[in-house]
């Protein structure tokens, strides 16, 4: 696997950054994960726009113009022989000469990128769906910024694993917001529901694609302010969406079956629409 670090392409296991890098010391950095289908990025412009928004949110200046990012990503995919991949990009505030909470003034951002293979989803997951739990959201407030400050996400995901589930759906102030690495949808009274975007939700690229498909297909849908855990528990279908997983059906929530306890008909339809869109 070939990685990119600050202008150089090199084997991933030789890629290095400084221990003084603020991404390492403070999680002072942002990232993107872009799915690649047969060598082609899905919604690259949207991912690069969100990267720019995340950088602006942390007052890190974007080290590259859109065209340079596009070339960098294409070169990295080429260097890794294309195929079905996830491109990971991380931009940190950089590595100043000393550790200091205060933002440094003259430091160049660190840019790291590499690819991971992105195989077909597990057949059992497609057939049976996944389990999820609801879990208190202990993340910082600005979750719409895709920062690498992911410890709360990691610990909540591990709480899910400890209960035999795959994803934790995060609840704050009585509202289900999103998963630890996914957005959440529910089918309630035959309508597709998702929490409306706010500062505590990442504007998922897959989420946007699902809403676009719902509009195009005439599927009744609504972005709502408060999706309560009780309303979610009564849904006939629950889905999670993300760039690496597309759309997964959640068939058990907190140990109880969701609807009929099987991936639902709207999920089947949405999944095939999303895959068609990704392969366009
Ligand atoms: N929410 C969170 C917290 C995430 O980490 C992710 C995955 N990056 C998502 C939502 C889904 O976003 P996307 O569809 O852009 O991958």
Domain of residue 65 covers 2-117
Last residue of a domain, one of 100, 117, 134: 117
Which residue's C-alpha comes closest to atom 10 of ligand 1? Answer: 182
pLDDT of residue 127: 98
Q: Is the CB of 251 under 6 A from ligand 1?
A: no
Q: 62 and 149: one domain?
A: no
Which CATH number does the domain housing residue 16 bear?
3.30.470.10
Q: Which of 183, 201, 240, 241 to mutate to test the pocket of ligand 1 (most atoms within 8 A of CB)?
A: 183
8: which strand partners? 5
Mean pLDDT of 115-119: 92
Residue 256: how many other CB atoms lie within 10 Å? 9
pLDDT of residue 116: 96
Q: Is the CB of 178 under 6 A from ligand 1?
A: yes
Q: Is the CB of 33 under 6 A from ligand 1?
A: yes
Q: 44 and 152: one domain?
A: no
Q: 105 and 131: one domain?
A: no
* Residue 178 Cα: closest atom of ligand 1: 1
Mean pLDDT of 45-52: 98
Which CATH number does the domain housing residue 133 bear?
3.20.10.10
pLDDT band at 272 (very low <50, low <70, confident <90, very high): very high
Tally of structural domains, the chain: 2
The span from the CA of 255 to the CA of 274, in Å, is 28
pLDDT in tens, 57-114: 999 999 999 999 999 999 999 999 999 999 999 999 999 999 999 999 999 999 999 9
Place of tokens 């996400």: 153
* Residue 50 Cα: closest atom of ligand 1: 15
Residue 276: how many other CB atoms lie within 10 Å? 10
Q: 231 and 203: one domain?
A: yes
pLDDT in tens, 143-192: 999 999 999 999 999 999 999 999 999 999 999 999 999 999 999 999 99
Q: Is the CB of 242 under 6 A from ligand 1?
A: yes
Place of tokens 């049976």: 128
pLDDT of residue 121: 86
The span from the CA of 124 to the CA of 139, in Å, is 31
The span from the CA of 219 to the CA of 23, in Å, is 42
Q: 208 and 223: one domain?
A: yes
Which ipTM was obtained for this model? 0.99
The span from the CA of 247 to the CA of 236, in Å, is 16
pLDDT in tens, 8-27: 999 999 999 999 999 999 99
Å from CA of 101 to ligand 1 middle: 28
Q: Is the CB of 167 under 6 A from ligand 1?
A: no
């Amino acid at each position: 696997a070939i990685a990119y670090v600050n202008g150089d392409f090199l084997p991933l296991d030789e890629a290095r950054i400084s221990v003084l890098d603020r991404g390492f010391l403070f999680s002072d950095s942002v990232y993107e994960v872009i799915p690649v289908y047969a060598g082609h990025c899905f919604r690259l412009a949207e991912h690069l726009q969100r990267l720019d928004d995340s950088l602006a949110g942390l007052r890190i200046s974007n080290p590259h113009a859109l065209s340079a990012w596009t070339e960098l990503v294409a070169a990295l995919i080429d260097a890794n022989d294309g195929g079905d991949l996830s491109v990971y990009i991380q931009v940190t505030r950089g590595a100043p000469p000393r550790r200091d909470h205060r933002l440094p003034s003259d430091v160049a951002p660190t840019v790291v990128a590499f690819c991971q293979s992105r195989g077909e989803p597990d057949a059992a997951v497609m057939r049976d769906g996944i389990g999820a739990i609801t879990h208190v959201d202990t993340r910082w407030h600005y979750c719409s910024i895709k920062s690498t400050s992911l410890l709360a996400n990691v610990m909540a995901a591990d709480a899910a694993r400890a209960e035999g589930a795959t994803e934790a759906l995060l609840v704050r102030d009585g509202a289900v917001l999103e998963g630890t690495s996914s957005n959440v949808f529910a089918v309630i009274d035959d309508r597709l529901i998702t929490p409306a975007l706010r500062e505590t939700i990442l504007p998922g690229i897959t989420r946007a694609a699902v809403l676009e498909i719902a509009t195009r297909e005439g599927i009744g849908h609504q972005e709502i302010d408060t999706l309560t855990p009780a309303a979610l528990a009564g849904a006939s279908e629950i889905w999670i969406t993300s760039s690496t997983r597309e759309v997964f059906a959640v068939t058990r929530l907190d140990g109880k079956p969701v609807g009929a306890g099987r991936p639902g008909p709207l999920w089947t339809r949405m999944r095939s629409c999303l895959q068609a869109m990704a392969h366009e």
